[in-house]
Amino acid sequence: MNATPSASPAPGGDIPSGRWPDCLRSARPDVISGFLVFLIALPLCLGISLASGFPPVAGVFTAVVGAIVTSFISNSELTIKGPAAGLIVIVLGAMQSFGYTGGADPEADFNAYRMVIAVGCVAGIVQVGFGLLRAGALSEFFPTAVVHGMLAAIGFIICLKQLPVVFGQKAKGEPLEILRELPEKILHLNPAITVIGLVSLAILFGWPAIRGRLRPAWLRFVPAQLLVLAVAVPLGRWFDLAHDHAYTFAGHEYQVGQSFLVNVPGNLAAAVTTPDFSVFTRPDLRLSAGWWVAMFALVGSVESLLSAKAIDLLDPWKRKTDMNRDLLAVGLANVAAAAIGGLPMISEIVRSKSNIDNGARTRFADFWHGIFLLAAVALAPGVIHMIPLSALAAMLVYTGFRLASPREFINVFKIGSEQLFIFVATILGVLATDLLIGVGIGILLKFVIHAVNGVPLTSFFKPFLKVSMIDDQTVQIDASGSAVFSNWIPFRRQIEQLGLVQHHNVVVNLAGTEVVDSSVMEKLHELALDFQQSGLKLDIVGLESHRQASAHPLAARRRVTVQMRRITVVGPAAMEAVLVRTVRDLGASGYTAVPCHGGGRREEPGGGRPLVRFETIVTAEIAGRILDALREPRLADERMTVWIEPVDVLRLEQFS
């Protein structure tokens, strides 16, 4: 199998870069894209921050700092840095562990906020260490099904926590607890707030389906989030949310007011909040603080690296991000953002995809999106205060739905039923316990499935590779044991060293492996694209004897042996033509005939008759028919010896 994927040609002209003065030539498309991404990012930054238990402006701090810092350090040209929905669960969990009350006790909430940004600051330092230690390969370890399961579980949690807000209610407790209470919260919904929330949801889900058919064409480029604000803000004014008051609907009285609107400070400098590092010295909190540092650093790094890699695949110029450099940049930006009260950041894939669609050319599109965010919050806080919280909640519900959409389940199932099993187990594990334990459950299940499928224990973490030169330009790597997610990092390092570093074409022969899992199949296809961009070729061979878990090209492969029957006949040489005709007529795909001589006890010493040794390998059913034919009178009278034995074959198609 040739693993080199097809790639769309890059646009003509020089490859743009964020280096000076190249960035000046790309200024116009970068500024335009930065502005359009800002329109999407502003409500998402506010919504993610509120959902995490932070002040709304904290998300904007994160996006602004990330845009400015990473644009000058990272070489990830098209990623947008900022707060991500995928980290809401972790940040809110940290807030709750440090005493967050959800507004019941503002002082306790503020203290928890300061402790969590201290955790974020230290986690950023850990990420800087990851970058310096070249831990960018960290993302290569996690199985694809587990990563997708983690993101889908986060999507479910976001939906569960934000749906009550859409209906004018508050959500407290664990995800499954919120799910049990959701019907009751819907029964006690606030009608005015619900109208805003449901209209926002209708726009978010309906706009992508209709905008492609709209005239004039410029309407197609209006982001759904901007349209939500254009409708939700007037609705909020109509319901007079700016003033606390009661209204009656269907005989029931409901309260509305400014608590249902975004609250941003009029003075941006006054919103800057410093971390409380005492969380690391207090005996009752330091263990929990260390746990959350690990969660912030590990999950944030993995999500950021995966997003950067995904955007690299979409880059029209096929530029490659230095993952270690990008991790260093994100870590430094996280330290700076947390130091002033910001959320943790990652390379955010939804805004990054929009950045590409809007025609961005370099990483300074991210820079400009941050500048526009800063200007909006600093110069127009009154406008932002008009945004209803239910509209922001609707945007997060939509984001969560996209992470956990039915299409995700279908796509995983197409790769293989065992992948769906791992995917669902990870989701349930995260929902029932927490993020890290849920991911651990998915990884453990993956190990169990590999062990059942015959992966040798000795090759779980170490690939067994043999390197040989085919010619001056081509190297062959013969793998044995297994090629699975847990031994992929050293496997990849060998392929890259021999191919991309030493500039050789590489042939990876997987014939000797018992199992090749879907994560490795996907990463081999991605690596083949790297080879193609370098003018090289990566070929994957030796999978003919492996059975796919499904018809999907990225499905896991397991080497199988099929038991057949070998029939051997030794008889007079003149029988060869009859034997050939017989086995072919009865369904054999081939045979072997070797002239020989021999005899029994009555033969003269040193003599012997001319004989033929005739062999064919067939299925058990065909073997039975051949033996019946050899018992017929026309052949039974011949002096011949016949025997049959079971054999295992690797390539069944050769005997079909």
- 237-293, pLDDT tens digit by residue? 999 999 999 999 988 999 999 999 998 888 888 899 999 999 999 999 999 999 999
> Which of 287, 299, 407, 404 shows the shortest CA–CA distance to 345?
299
Highest mean pLDDT among 213-217, 224-228, 470-474, 475-479 belongs to 475-479
- 332-367 residue pLDDT tens: 999 999 999 999 999 988 889 889 888 899 999 999
Return mean pLDDT, the chain. 89
Counts for the chain of helices (H) and strands (E), in that order = 23, 14
> Which of 514, 510, 518, 516 shows the shortest CA–CA distance to 539?
510
pTM of the model: 0.78
In this predicted structure, which of 303-312, 360-369, 568-577 has the lowest mean pLDDT? Answer: 303-312
Task: Provide the sign of the torsion angle of the four alpha carbons 474, 477, 478, 482, taken in this order.
Answer: negative
The answer to whether 554 and 592 are in contact (CB under 8 A) is no
- 27-38 residue pLDDT tens: 889 999 999 899
Task: Answer whether residue 114 shows pLDDT above 90.
Answer: yes
- 184-203 residue pLDDT tens: 988 999 999 999 999 999 99
* Rounded Cα–Cα distance for residues 509 and 530 (Å): 19
Q: Are strands 474-483 and 505-516 parallel, antiparallel or unpaired?
A: parallel
Task: Answer whether residue 373 shows pLDDT above 60.
Answer: yes
So what's the pLDDT on residue 599? Answer: 75
Confidence of residue 8 (pLDDT cuts 50, 70, 90): very low
The encoded tokens of residue 135 equal 């831990």
| Domains of the chain, first to last | 25-404 (no CATH), 417-450 (no CATH), 457-559 (3.30.750.24), 562-655 (3.30.70.120)
Highest mean pLDDT among 97-111, 211-225, 641-655 belongs to 97-111
* Rounded Cα–Cα distance for residues 244 and 632 (Å): 102
So what's the pLDDT on residue 177? Answer: 85
Burial of 141 from C-beta contacts in 10 A (0-12 / 13-18 / 19+)? middle
So what's the pLDDT on residue 1? Answer: 47
> Which of 468, 467, 539 shows the shortest CA–CA distance to 507?
539
* Rounded Cα–Cα distance for residues 186 and 90 (Å): 26
